[in-house]
Structures are given as structure tokens and as C-alpha cells.
Structure 1
Amino acid sequence: MAITDKFSSKQIFKFLPIVAIIIAGINAYYTVNEGHVGVIKRFGEAKDQQPPGLHFKIPFIETVEMIEVRTRKNAEKMASSTKEQMPVTIEVSVNWTVEKEAALDLFKRYGGLSQFEQRILDPRFRSATKDTIPQFEAEQLIQDRASAIQGIERRLTEEMAGFPVIVDNIQIENIILPAKYISSIEIKQTEKNLAAAEEHKLERQRFKAMQAVNTADAEAQSILKVAEADAQAILLKGRAEAQAIEAKAKALKNNPLIVKLTEAQAWDGKLPATMLGSGTMPIMDLRNSQEKGN
């Protein structure tokens, strides 16, 4: 039995180098995924950084720490107040990215991304937000988020100057105001809508009244133009008749025979019943009497 145990121990020690070589071979290479940088640590000390791909290291001596260099998002929900001292709860978020070339420096100074977020980024983000929100009134904050976002971004950029990261795309995700204020806003908006509706109604009435005035004015202008046209026609007709009479008078004056011609044209073919001579006694027409006697 002792011989068997001794043989087993010898066999184990015989294969130990082989196992060690296999383990060392497995630990001699590593891969860095896209969007990350590999920080090489030798006995815990950061020595170098490697880009994505397959790499080799000293087994059991060097280890690799992965640093993400893709865009990350941090979100914060914090209490603040508006310019009129109204309590408000703000939900904000920020995107930030580690500069690839500075990943090793960030690891050396802060120990990794989580440490950097907790100790550097988050406190400054909260400070920039709480310093900016009180500059706006509640209504302005609701209606003009862009200005508040620009203020937070400007302040945070100043706070993060000198750090190996890029911050951008700050968003105000939600604004939670007291229920009483929300109710007053709704009432105010309702009153604005009613006022706008009344103004629209008055505008339509003014438009209709203007239409009626324009229609009446157009009709009056039309009647006036017709009257002017009739008056002008009468005037022209009178002038034509006067000119005709004047021309006829001139013609009669210059040629007495025209009078005879006019009389002849107007004669109906019958002789006059009575004629006056040059004396005082009238000359009687006896033709009718004679005809009766016959």
C-alpha cells in the first residue's frame, strides 16, 4: 500500500511541470474587446495600455484591467429650488467618454471608471445642476429647458476642465413640481385658451363686419356709377338735341324755302276749313254745304 502511495506521489510531481506550463500558456495571452483599452498591471502597478485585439503578457506577474472608452451615461435625481424658491425635483443625465490616450493616466489617478464617477464626475454634475436650476423660474424652466441644459453644460464643462474625459449631451429627463403649482398652471393655461378663443371670435366678427362694410361700399359705388352714367347720358342727349335744334334754326334762317318744304312734308292733303283774307271778313268754305245740298 505504501509503495502505491509513493508511486502516485511520484506521478503527480512528474506531471506538475506540464500542468504549470499549460496554465502559464493559458495566462500568457489576453484579448481587449472593441470599445475598451487594456491597462497592464505588473505586481499591481499600472505600466502600459493596449488597444483592442490579441496581446501577450507575463503569466502570474502581469494582469489586465479593462477600461471602457465608449460613451457612458450617468443619471441623477436631485432636489433643488427655482428662482422663486419653489421646491423642485430634477432628473438629469449626462453622457461622458474617457479619452483613449488618457485611459492609463485615469486608472493611475483614480483607480478605474467607478472610482472616477463616484469621486469626480457625479459630485460636480450635481453641483452644476443645483447651481443652474435656481436661476430659472418654474414656468421658464418648463417652457425653456434648452436654456437650463445649456447652463448646466457650461458649468459642468468648466468643472471638468483638466480631467481626461469629454462630457456632452446633458438632458433634463423630468421636472417634478408641487401639485398645487401644476394645478395653477393648468388653470392659467385654460384661461389663456378661453381668452384666445374669445379673441378669435371677436376677430371673426370684425372680419364679417368689414365684409358687410365693403359690400355696402361696393354697392353704393355701383349705384353711384350707374347714376353718373345715366346723368352723363341725359346730358349728352340734351346736348345733342340742343345742337340739332340750333342747327335746324340756322338752316331755316339761311333758307326760307326749307319752311315751305317742312310744311309740305307735314301737310295731310286736306285744305283748311277756314282761311282769312286780307280784309276783316272771313272767307267761308262752302264746299261742305254744296256737297250736302247735292
Structure 2
Amino acid sequence: MKKILGLVLAGLVLLGAGCSKVPAGHVGVKVYLLGGDKGVDQTVLSPGRYYIGFNEELFLFPTFSQNNVWTQDIRPDSPSDESISFGTREGLSVSADIGITYAIQPDKVANVFQKYRKGVDEITDVYLRNMVRDALVKAASTKEIESVYGAGKTELISEVEEIVRSQVKDVGIIVERVYWVGDLRLPQSITASINAKIQATQVSMQRENEIKTAQAQAMIEVAKAKGEADAQLEKARAESESIKMKGEAEASAIRSKANALAQNANLVELIRSERWDGKLPTSMIPGSAVPFITVK
């Protein structure tokens, strides 16, 4: 009886030892190592515990987004320089740190493993890195260094991202982003030359903007002066017109008064008498008439 119990316990221990866990946030794929069923089991294992026999191996794949960087820096998880080098159209060598963010479609995990025969770490550091490097070398080979270093930097990494995305999307890997980490590393002499040219261009643009500003200000001053001159001219015209109208009115009044006096002799005599002070002239020219006195 004790012997049987011991065998049962031993069996349970062996059975427990053969159980493997698929943790939360992951899926698993079982691979048969030997026999007629050798190969990848197409059944995707969701989180839980599964018996894995001596002829089987379990590979885990995360269902959440993965982020990885390949840099020049030496780190515990990266004991060597993993930065990527590429050449430009002129043949200049450039080194860069690059990152990638991607996710594996859970329902295509078996397809991914069947394609690469590796786990997620090896897929990232071998296959995806090689794809990024090859895409970068291809895209940069048609660009000049000034384009790569300057405004074309974003365009270049976007081309790389699209190339890699198209290569793996049908397999079951979704590339979310490929990006630069920090600045590109160029020979110091090339960097100095490019920076000097950029600075010269910026100074030239600043001078051009200053000239445009001065021209605009001059045009404003000219318009302002013209406006003031036009205003003065209009004022002078108005004053001249006013004087003219006033003169014409006065002349008209004089003419009207003269006509009235000419047509009414008695009125003339009345006005003259009203203005006479009653004194006779002290001297008279022979033959002249005495004012207001009619001699019969």
C-alpha cells in the first residue's frame, strides 16, 4: 500500500513539475520537439496553467506594446554597442540610436513563431533590428548629409518606419513607431560645417526679414505723408473755395446795393443828408453846387 501511495505521490510531483503558467498579459504557443507532431501547435494558449511534456516547449508572447531602443550606451541589458550606422549619398558614415514600439497580434502568435522560430526578445534584437538597419541604409543612401541632419531627419525615419511596418504586418507584428533617440552622430568636421551653413542661412533670412520690415515701414511712412499732404490740399481747397464764395457774396451785395441806389435817387439824397454834419464847406470851387441846397 505504501509503495502504491509513493508511486502516486511521485506521479503527482512529476505532473506538477510539468505544468507551466501563461501569465496575465501574455499568450503562449506550444511547440512539439519530436515525433510525428513535431512543429508549432496552432492553438494559442490564453493565461492559465498548462501541462508541458518532456517533448514539448512553451513560448510566451506579451499582448501589450513592446518598446526597445538600440543605443551606443553600455547597459546591464545591453553589454555592447547596439547603435545603427548608415551612409549618406556622399558616402559619409552616420551613427544613430534608434527605438521601436510594436505589438504582436495575439491571434497570430503561432504564425509569428512559425516565421521566426524565436521568442520575443530574439525577434526584437535580431530580426526587427536588422529590418530597421536595412531600411535605414536603403533610405539614407539617396539623401545628402544636410538633408539627413536637418529638416529631412523626420522624413527619413518615417520612411524607415513605413518599410519595416510593411514587412511584418502580414506576419502578425504591428509596428507602431520607429524613432530617433537623441542626436545623430557625425564626424566633428562635418557637424561644424553644417552648423556654420545653417547659421549663415539663418543670418541671411534675418537680414531679409529686416529689409522687408524696413520696406514695409517706409511704405507706411510714404502712405502717411501722402495722406497728410492730401489732407492739407483738401483743406487749402476748402479755404480757397470759402474765400471765393465769401468774395462773390460780398461783390453781389455791393452790386445789389449799387443797383438799388442807382434806381432810387431820393434814397441817395436821404443817405447823404443823414450822413451830413450840417456844416458848409469852408472853401468851394467856383461853379460847384452847395451840398443838399438847391438854389433856385
Residue 81 to residue 64, structure 1, CA distance change in 2 (3 Å): closer
Match in the other structure for 1:217: 226
Distance 2:265 2:145 in 1: 109
Deviation sequence 1:230-260 (CA, Å, 0-9, x none): 3222211221121112112221222111110
Which deviates more, 90-99 or 262-271? 90-99
Q: Which structure dedicates a bigger proportion of its chain to helix?
A: 1
Distance 2:267 2:261 in 1: 6
Match in the other structure for 2:129: 122
| 1:169 shift after superposition | 0.8
1:177 aligned onto 2:186 = yes
Match in the other structure for 1:23: 13
Deviation sequence 1:23-50 (CA, Å, 0-9, x none): 1452465431123212234565443544
Instruction: Answer whether contact 1:36 1:52 (CA < 8 A) is retained.
Output: yes
Instruction: Answer whether contact 2:29 2:43 (CA < 8 A) is retained.
Output: yes
Larger radius of gyration: 1
1:37 aligned onto 2:43 = no
Distance 1:253 1:121 in 2: 120
Match in the other structure for 1:67: 61
Distance 1:160 1:55 in 2: 30
Match in the other structure for 2:78: none
2:95 aligned partner, one-letter code? T
1:154 aligned onto 2:162 = yes
| 1:144 shift after superposition | 2.5
TM-score computed with the length of structure 1 as normaliser: 0.75
Deviation sequence 1:70-126 (CA, Å, 0-9, x none): 333454422221123322123333333322222223334533224545664333332
1:199 aligned onto 2:208 = yes
1:67 aligned partner, one-letter code? F
TM-score computed with the length of structure 2 as normaliser: 0.75
Give the fraction of aligned pairs with identical amino acids, expressed as a percent. Answer: 23
| 1:147 shift after superposition | 1.8
Structure 1: segments with no counterpart, 5+ residues: 1-9, 284-294
Match in the other structure for 2:51: 57
Match in the other structure for 2:94: 88
2:273 aligned partner, one-letter code? A
SS at structure 2 position matched to 1:135: coil
SS at structure 1 position matched to 2:179: strand
SS at structure 2 position matched to 1:93: strand
User: Larger RCO: Structure 1 or Structure 2 (Cα < 8 Å, ≥ 6 residues apart)?
Assistant: 2
Match in the other structure for 1:7: none
Instruction: Answer whether contact 1:31 1:54 (CA < 8 A) is retained.
Output: yes
| 1:207 shift after superposition | 4.5
SS at structure 1 position matched to 2:262: helix
Q: Map 1:5-16; keep pairs closer than 5 Å.
A: 16=6
Match in the other structure for 1:79: 85
Instruction: Answer whether contact 1:82 1:135 (CA < 8 A) is retained.
Output: yes
| 1:211 shift after superposition | 4.5
Match in the other structure for 1:186: 195
Deviation sequence 1:123-171 (CA, Å, 0-9, x none): 3332211111112222222212232123213332444364332233111
Aligned CA RMSD, in angstroms, stands at 3.3
Residue 87 to residue 20, structure 1, CA distance change in 2 (3 Å): same
Residue 58 to residue 94, structure 1, CA distance change in 2 (3 Å): closer
Instruction: Answer whether contact 1:67 1:112 (CA < 8 A) is retained.
Output: no
